[in-house]
Structure 1
Amino acid sequence: MSEHHKKIPKETGIDHSIELLKEGYNFILNRVEKFDSRVVQTRLLGEKAICMVGKNEAELFYDTDKFFREEAAPSRVQKTLLGVGGVQGLDGEEHRHRKAMFMSFMTRDSLNEVQNLTKREWERVFAHSPEEVNIYETAKIVLTRVALNWAGVPYKEVEIKNWSKRLSPLFEMAANIGPKHIKSRRSRKKLEQTLQGLVKKLREGQLDVNQSSPFYNVSMHRDSDGNLLDPHVAAVEILNLIRPIVAIAVYVDFTLLAVYEHPDQVCEIQNGHIQSQHFIQEVRRYYPFFPFAVARVKKDFTWNGFDFKKNTMTLLDLYGTNHDPTIWESPNEFKPSRFKEWQESPFNFIPQGGGEFDFGHRCAGEWLTIDVMRVTLEYFLHEINFRFPEQNPEYDMNDIPPVPGVMIHLKG
């Protein structure tokens, strides 16, 4: 074999989907370590799959000349987490056009509104909260209100718990099999039906909503050919705005876990040695959120001696890249100060995916996520009095997403 070509290390066996469910966030890292290679081959869902980890590998993965996303995600993920027809599954001009719509919602005024809503809703919930509070369950209610109000989706206050109950399975159970997966699909179907009905009413002039709201603009968005989105696709995209905001509840739970586990770092904030922004960025790096991103090879090519064949499913390890010792010093230590002089790139810190914001596949809501987490952390540190009861919050790395279930006691 030519020195310019080498075989991708290959895991033997018929299929390793069960191992993926068992190993969770460590699935790709385990194979990278086993084969001492940042690119490895396995089999998932009955087909060949290439797994990668690292900064250079992320830059390759987000090269739209080499990989595509359309129909790349497994159908079970499309029918739970992402929805069919949404921006995550588009490529080319239609992706750029649709992504531009999402980025138009990330203005400074819009992000300021999210910050104000986040603080307001935490104040509301703690004005009537019991003494003992489950952070994750409370955060889901808070962020459901934030999401619906910010997006401008019409709703009644008595419906909030039902909205939260239906939104949660979309990200809590997307990776499950059996009854939980079925529940996730049913929740998505009901939500899409509700939102599709609202889109139709708006277009028929039966709803009066703020015309600057994301709900209005998605409903009236025209594709690159000048046509209104199919009402179902519009509903999918509205869910792609509100679902991720509610999912920040996972990060909120981890933020309070970090406060509980690392009081010395909280003191660093209070002493002015680090900023709250550094703390929440380290939460996003250190704790698990998205395990990996999925794409398919657009055409045959060779990279670093490895041959990639057309249409091969390819997974980029997000969690592993955020714990890559070639990028991060002492990656398994919780050290917010690392972000004081962090050299940002689109590929070295990818908790919610990588690439460029405007024309790539990087999550449009990443700035919003950071703002929600920062405002929440500052509210808990400076606006309320609480203590942690005796507890042992744990999470499993094979749960996607993992939820530690932190509890607090409010002080009078």
Structure 2
Amino acid sequence: MSTNENVPHEKTIDNSLALMREGYLFIGNRIDRYESDLFETRLLGEKVICMSGEEPAKIFYDSERFQRKGAAPKRVQKTLFGENAVQTMDGEAHIHRKLLFMSLMTPPHQKRLADLMMREWQKSIGSWQDTEGIVLFDEAKETLCRISCNWAGVPLKESEARERADDFSDMVDAFGAVGQRHRKGRKARRRTEKWIQSIIEDVRNGKLEADEGSALYEMAFHRQLNGKKLDAEMAAIELINVLRPIVAIATFITFSALALQTHPKYKEKLQSRDERFLEMFAQEVRRYYPFGPFVGARVKKEFVWNDCEFKKGMLVLLDMYGTNHDPRIWGDPEEFRPERFSDWDGNLFDFIPQGGGEAEKGHRCPGEGITVEVMKASLDFLVNKIEYEVPGQDLSYTLLKMPTLPKSGFILSNIRQK
């Protein structure tokens, strides 16, 4: 029996299999069933509180109440984040490390990446015109791998761009995976860490020159609060934490193309190059389509909220997908409607596709601005720079697999320059 008598709790011994089966909908299904913002369950043998909505997000991102240390399972650290990376840190050390990431993701950096993306997209047209068709997701991740390395100062041979892009992508794909997909993600991480660590070491011993201000330079020479440099392995892990999320924007670009295909009425508005509408469309893609399913933290010190006792050390999961589809926040959340962002106030807790709260001091993704700018450049390219056909294919995606994507990866054919 739960100690939280007034809080809905699952009667099953363990819900790990249900989580794997229900994916993005696991938390939301139970929030609806219990008509409550939170419930208690067991996952991998431990008691867990799951929450969804704006108020729970405010609580969850309160650093006095929650910490990240010990929240990310080792299997996620060994694939997605890297072990003991910035996502697992707290307090002053976290803020200090986070400022390093923030310094690399300022508006000028965002603009440079968006410009690089547009340039690379336009360079691709020639080769695409000579093919039967392309898979947008594959092209996007390779292009993003190329521009993120270029921007960060990481040398990347043209011949290995596809393989490195696949490795970055496999780390992300392993997030909710077991078996083969998980093993693939671990192998990808080991390969990528070895590659980036050797580059960091080359920069430190003068074999390779890195421009001051570049992500490579800043990670190689970053000093912690104790004045010491990160060891080469840790510097590599954090540099990967700059590059990997940029490659992951391929998912949002693919869903952007799907949104254009499913809602053609918005094409005209996007063709008018209305910057404000372009932003609204990109934000609605981030709200509507699945990206991160949920995020975890541990209770830092005991407190009670909503009749629920949060005990020190307890794992709590916040439903990102469910919060972005909460009907109390978003009227008709299952409708794709960019106009809803025309009067959105920038609330830090009701729209959380890449986490909530403040990026500077908390655990919201510092690369959100980069994501939006790169998406906008890619949307502009798809609408205003090329014409293409969408041949018959399976564009469905499942919410039961985390992360997810349209099954075909979105095939474009008969591509030509406008």
TM over 0.5: yes
Q: TM-score per shorter chain, which class?
A: over 0.9
1:168 and 1:236 map into 2 onto residues whose CA distance is: 15
How big is the shift at 1:271?
A: 5.5
Query: Which deviates more, 34-43 or 173-182?
Result: 173-182
Q: What are the ranges of 5 or more consecutive residues in structure 2 without an aligned counterpart?
A: none
Mapped contact 2:173–2:181 kept (Cα < 8 A) = no
Answer yes or no: is the 8 Å Cα contact 1:7–1:307 preserved in 2. no
Question: Partner residue of 2:83?
Answer: 84
Over the matched positions of the two proteins, sequence identity in percent amounts to 43
Give the TM-score of the pair, scaled to structure 2: 0.95
Q: What is the CA–CA distance in structure 1 between the aligned matches of 2:413 and 2:159, rounded to whole Å? A: 26
Matches within 5 A, 1:127-276: 127-129=126-128, 130-270=131-271, 275-276=277-278
Q: How far did 1:200 drift? A: 1.2
Q: 1:320 aligns with which of 307, 319, 322?
A: 322
Structure 2 counterpart SS, 1:362: coil
Deviation at residue 173 of structure 1 after TM alignment: 2.1
CA distance in 2: counterparts of 1:169 and 1:270, whole angstroms: 34
CA distance, structure 1, for counterparts of residue 413 and residue 367 of structure 2: 31
Aligned residue type for 1:352 = Q
Shift, 1:121, TM fit: 1.3
Aligned to 1:74: 73
Following TM superposition, by how much is the alpha carbon of 1:272 offset from its aligned partner in structure 2, in angstroms? 7.2
1:97-137 deviations in whole A, cap 9, x for unaligned?
A: 00000000122221121011101111122221223111111
Counterparts in 2 of 1:32 and 1:101: CA distance versus 1, 3 Å? same
Equivalent positions of 1:2-401 (< 5 A) are 7-129=6-128, 130-270=131-271, 275-401=277-403
How many residues end up aligned between the 2 structures?
A: 408
Q: Are 1:408 and 2:412 an aligned pair?
A: yes
CA-to-partner distance for each residue in 1:49-104, whole Å, 9 max, x for gaps? 11000001000000011100012111110110111121100000000000000000
Secondary structure, counterpart of 1:222 in structure 2: coil
Where does structure 1 differ by over 4 angstroms across 4 or more consecutive aligned residues?
271-274
**AA aligned opposite 1:222:** R
CA distance in 1, matches of 2:340, 2:151: 32
One-letter identity of the residue aligned with 2:24: Y
Q: Secondary structure at the match of 2:40?
A: strand
Moved more, 218-227 or 107-116: 107-116
The runs of 5 or more residues in structure 1 that have no matched partner are none
Assess if the C-alpha contact under 8 Å between 1:125 and 1:142 holds in 2. Answer: no
1:128 alignment partner, SS class? helix
Matches of 1:182 and 1:302, distance apart in 2: 40
1:392 Cα offset (Å): 3.6
The answer to whether the 8 A contact 2:175-2:403 is kept is: no
| Structure 1 vs Structure 2 CA RMSD | 1.4
**3-state SS of 2:72 partner:** coil
Aligned residue identity for 1:96 = I
Aligned counterparts of 1:134 and 1:192: Cα–Cα separation in 2: 28
AA matched with 2:139: T
Task: Give secondary structure in 1 for the equivalent of 2:36.
Answer: coil
Contact 2:260/2:267 (CA < 8 Å) preserved in 1? yes
Distance 2:183 2:252 in 1: 25
Deviations 1:21-58 (CA, angstroms, capped at 9, x unpaired): 11000000011111111110111111011100000100
Inter-CA distance 121–359: structure 2 relative to 1 (3 Å threshold): same
CA distance, structure 2, for counterparts of residue 182 and residue 160 of structure 1: 21
Letter in 2 for 1:317: D
**TM-score after normalising by structure 1:** 0.96
Paired residues of 1:86 and 1:237 also in contact (CA < 8 A): yes
- CA distance in 2: counterparts of 1:269 and 1:136, whole angstroms: 21
Question: Offset of 1:270 from its aligned partner?
Answer: 3.5
Answer yes or no: is the 8 Å Cα contact 1:285–1:349 preserved in 2: yes
Q: CA deviation at 1:147?
A: 1.2
SS of equivalent to 2:386:
coil
| Closer/same/farther in 2, CA of residues 387 and 65 from structure 1, 3 Å limit | same
